Each structure stands twice: as C-alpha cells, then as structure tokens.
Amino acid sequence: MKSEGFELDDSTLSAMMLCYADNGFFPEEQSIWDEILNRSVPNIQIVSELIDAYGRTGQFDKVTRILHQISSRNFNILPKIYALTISCFGKGGRLEMMENTLKEMVSRGFSIDSATGNSLIIYYSIFGSLTEMEAAYCSLKSSRILIEREGIRAMSFAYMKERKFYVLGEFLRDVGLGRRNVGNLLWNLLLLSYAANFKMKSLQREFLRMIEAGFYPDLTTFNIRSLAFSRMSLFWDLHVSLEHMKHEGVVPDLVTYGCVVDAYLDKRLGRNLDFALSKMNMNDFPIVSTDPFVFEALGKGDFHSSSEAFMEFRRQKNWTYKKLIATYLKKKFRSNQIFWNY
C-alpha cells in the first residue's frame, strides 16, 4: 500500500496494532499506537480493545502507559479511559493498581459512575477479602449508587464460600428485599441462607413473607426449599411444595426430580418412589434451570450429579427423566432387589 502511494488510515493502523498486541509484538504495536496518538483523538473502542489485549497478556504496565499518555493530552475521553483501566486491573486481580488508579481518578475531579462502582465490588469479592469487599459496598452506598444484580451475586457468592450465611442475610436485608428490579434474586438468596443451615422454621417464615410482599416463587425458590426438605426427610413438606409448584405452573427440572429420588432412596423407600413421582411428567427432557448459586451453598444431590454424568458420557440423546431414574436405580442398586416398573 505504501509503495503504491496509499496512506494508511486509522482503521488500517488500528487493525495492525491490535494484531501485533494480540500476538505479543509489543514494539511494533507501540510504534503504531504512538502514530495514532499523534494524529488525532484515539477511538475509544480501539483503546478498549488494546487495553483488553494488554490485560489478557498481563502487560499492566502498558495499560498505565496508555492512561498517562492520554491524561497528558487532556483528551475528553479520559474519564472512559480511567474506567477501562480500573476494569482491566480488577479483572487481572491487581487490586492495588486498581485502588491507586481509582484514587487518581477521583483526585482529578472525575466521579465514580454506577458501572465502575459495581465492578469494584465484583473484583473485591473475587480477589479481595470480605473486609475489602464490604468497604467497597459501604463506599458505594455513601455515593448513593445502588448495588446491581451482578454486584449482589458477587457479594453473596463470597459470603457463601466462607459459609457466612447469617452475614449474607443481613447484607440482603440492607440492600432491601423490596427491590423489584432484580426479580426474586434477593428473596431466593435469603431463603438459601436459611436452607444452608437447615433453619426450617425461618425458611418457611421468610417464604411466606416473600409471598405476602407480592413476589411469586420461581423454580429456584421452590428448589431451595425442596432441597432442604429432601435432606431433612420432610416428605409431607416436599410433596406440598411439589403441589404448590404445579398450582403456580412452575415446571420441575432435574434438581426437583433429584430431591424426590434422593429423599426416598436415602430412607430406603424405593418401593414408594413410583407413587411419589406419579404426578410429575416423567417423559420430559431433563434440564437444569435452577440458579447455580444454589449449588454453591447446598451442593448437588447424588441423583443430580449422577444424571449429569450419564448424559455427558453416554451417547444416548433421547434422555427422559424416566430413563435417567431407571439407569440410576440400576447402577445404584445393581446387587439388590428393586421393585420397579420401568
């Protein structure tokens, strides 16, 4: 192109620069970046992709270089570059670099927006301590920024990993159980905080409060309760919950079926399993639609785990709950006499 007298435009230069960065040719990439920077205001999308490339390869010093270069030129894209830099450091677990960049941004008069504030909580919940995470949450509140769905999930996962279920419940109440823009997330997490410690009276009390507050239980709500009922061998409560699901038009998933199968087999009541499952559609295709945070706190039941293994490693494609249960029973009780009609 050059030999033919064509001038390389910013689009071509940017494509070459990103290719060099992705493949580790940083001297070549830097040469093009300097050329782009001297020509005009860089395209924010291109800068974002370049910072992402640096983050993937651990070149965090080069991210700082970009920030300082743009900062020295007083481009109006600087606030966005600060946000991108903070995000890059956070994703890479470089919390100290993230904090220093945040302080620098604030000292220059730029405010923290909702997206950046919530991302800080997520990064602290993944890479930091609970104390650091909680401090970030308090800072968010003091800035009158609402914690959003992903921030709530991140903090909740952090509490679950440390088995801090009481603190989890206090956090959810502080966020505000009446918030409707996150659906049933807050209530489901609160129910889970009780189910994880098998506080059945509190679980039932908060479930009723959830309904009284105008929230309709979903599949995750029902399966949190069903898992607790199953492991406590509360058969009557389990069946009432299944009837409630049917009344609300909520379709059971693999987790629900597992609650029934595990409860009956744990108590050696396999003869009664046919009756227990008679009101459920055994010919449905097995799926898992329960929110994964349930498994962080309560784990997966034996039938659930075994069924996933069956479906993953066997070539059969037309699985149904009926076939899964028959396969599970054959495997589990191969040496015992089983009265089963499948």
Highest mean pLDDT among 16-25, 48-57, 288-297: 288-297
* CA neighbor of 290 nearest in space, from 191, 203, 212: 191
pLDDT of 335 > 60? The answer is no
Average pLDDT over residues 29-43: 82
Q: What whole-number percentage of the chain has pLDDT above 70?
A: 96
Structure tokens at 341: 């009609």
**pLDDT recorded at residue 334:** 66
**pLDDT recorded at residue 214:** 95
Structure tokens at 311: 């479906």
Mean pLDDT score of the chain = 91
pLDDT in tens, 153-183: 999 999 999 999 999 999 999 999 999 999 9
pLDDT of 196 > 90? The answer is yes
- The residue type found at 32 is I
Question: CB 52: neighbour CB atoms within 10 A?
Answer: 18
116 or 26, higher pLDDT: 116
Using CA atoms, how far apart are residues 18 and 158, in angstroms rounded to an integer?
35
Using CA atoms, how far apart are residues 187 and 174, in angstroms rounded to an integer?
12
Average pLDDT over residues 128-134: 96
Using CA atoms, how far apart are residues 165 and 171, in angstroms rounded to an integer?
10
pLDDT of 138 > 90? The answer is yes
Q: How far is CA 10 from the centre of its chain?
A: 38
Alpha-carbon Rg for the chain, nearest whole angstrom, is 27
CB contact at 8 A, 231 and 198: yes
pLDDT tier, 290 (very low <50, low <70, confident <90, very high otherwise):
very high
The 8-class DSSP code of residue 266 comes to: H
Which residues, 6 or more positions from 288, have their beta carbon under 8 angstroms from its beta carbon?
253, 254, 255, 304, 308
pTM above 0.75, yes or no: yes
Burial class (CB in 10 A: 0-12, 13-18, 19+), 90: buried
Place of tokens 């997966």: 300
pLDDT in tens, 2-29: 777 777 777 788 888 888 888 888 888 8
